[in-house]
Structure 1
Amino acid sequence: MRRPSGRCTFGLGRAEILSAQVNGLALLVLGAVIAFEAIRRIIDPGVIDGRLVLAIGLGGAVANGAAALALSKANRQSLNVEGAFLHNLYDLYSSLAAAAAGAIILTTGFGEADGLAALTVVLLMFRGGWGLVRDSGLVLLEGSPQGLDAERVGTAMASHPGVVEVHDVHPWEVTSGFPALAAHVVVGREEDCHTRRLELARLVHDRFEIDHTTLQVDHERSRDLLQLG
């Protein structure tokens, strides 16, 4: 990952999110193209050489299976790696579906099997592509990371000794595996703001695994202050 610079203060961590978005959109577009061709083949299957389809499917399954196995051992918490894995996985599914269709055509002469097998793979591609677009879009829109509820984080912080109120709680994600938190905390007038900030930062790290926190900590306003206006 590129180191932080003047304009890119978090480096290029979001580049992998953009890549995941492109991967997801590519799966959706390819799925639509394959679906169109599959429907055309179901309507007019033509003459299909079952042995050739079976051989190509088995050969592709071996190659794509090896690639998918290698990527499955990588850090799939990264949306970019997950996108590459899904591409290989659906290539594997396509090869297996082609091999199955070839075997059916070879044994029964049912030419429509090729198109039906392709449509099955398309459904899986749509599911995976939409998941990538959704998850990467959530990061780009700075939504709460999966499994991290803003209300639960705020409640935990507000329950800490010396804390009077917590609001404007915004958990978000810089990139895959890099959660962050911003919040406004009000503490008692006799409390040490710096000490409470360090304690709260440690709390969200230990309980919610958030390392990057931006906490604005202020003293509670005196009720005796004259409200003007």
Structure 2
Amino acid sequence: MITLERDGGLWIATINRPEKANSLTADMLDELAGIAEAAQEARALILTGTGSVFSAGADLEAARAGLATSPLWERLSGAIAALPGLSIAALNGTVAGGAMGMVLACDLRIAVPNAKVFYPVMKLGFLPQPSDPGRLASLIGPARAKQILMAGRKIPATDAHAWGLIDELAESTDLIATARAMAADTLAATAEHAAAIKTMIR
């Protein structure tokens, strides 16, 4: 349910469970984390999904069995954040719940205009994964982070773009092409050069 395409230094990982809104099982999370850990050798990693939803977060049955509070989420987002190359979330649709973690951990985020962003941990009675609130607040500020995490707001992609949570909007037919274009300079550079610049920004 996770497909991986390697094109030279570019890796594209796709969540491929559209019939279940790309909701994630423990096995899928483990596979994504393994890809992100292995992508230390990649120049750029793009995360995307199939269908009209990027990911609805934890699979309902798996969430009831404890996946909603699993350390796998933090393992995945930590591996993405640690990448020396460029990471891009290409949101083919709405992102919700725990799936926000991998998106927040990416260097750049692009989305189709009809996507939405929401993280209903307050309503569901869970805490967000440990690194997510800080990453969210660093992108959009603490008050807007509280709108998402505490007030349960669903943020349209156009507003998320205005807030700085989404870096660029692209039509679905152009989404991966836009992500590839964003990665072009990094792919053309040496891995050491790209890693050095990323370290300086951090």
Question: When the two structures are superposed, what TM-score results if normalisation uses the length of structure 2?
Answer: 0.27
Structure 1 or 2: more strand by fraction: 2
Structure 1 or 2: more helix by fraction: 1
Q: Name which one, 1 or 2, has greater alpha-carbon Rg.
A: 1
Question: When the two structures are superposed, what TM-score results if normalisation uses the length of structure 1?
Answer: 0.25
